[in-house]
Amino acid sequence: MSETKKRVRVRIEGLVQGVFYRASTRRQAAVLGVYGTVRNLPDGAVEAVMEGDAGAVDRLLDWCHVGPAGADVTAVRAVDEPYRGEFTDFRVIG
């Protein structure tokens, strides 16, 4: 039986730009088999859209609370969205 699929849009706040947060998120997503995108926002936050097996998405979401060395995450806001299956990889888009 296959695991339930999940999609979540995540806003990560704190010191998350200029610390390789996006590249580290992409690497972590590849390890976990999660697809989606990650980008910097003009206000200094990072936004990610993640899709995949629910357990893998949850593990990536947990990782987002810490991020890479040098990051100082102060808030993570996640909103579940309907699963679309629109991604074939995980990309840094901005």
Q: Which residues are the active-site residues? A: 22, 40
Burial 38-64 (b: 16+ CB within 10 A, else e): bebeeeebbbbbbbbbeebbbbbbebb
Least Cα distance to 58 among 50, 47, 67, 46 occurs for 50
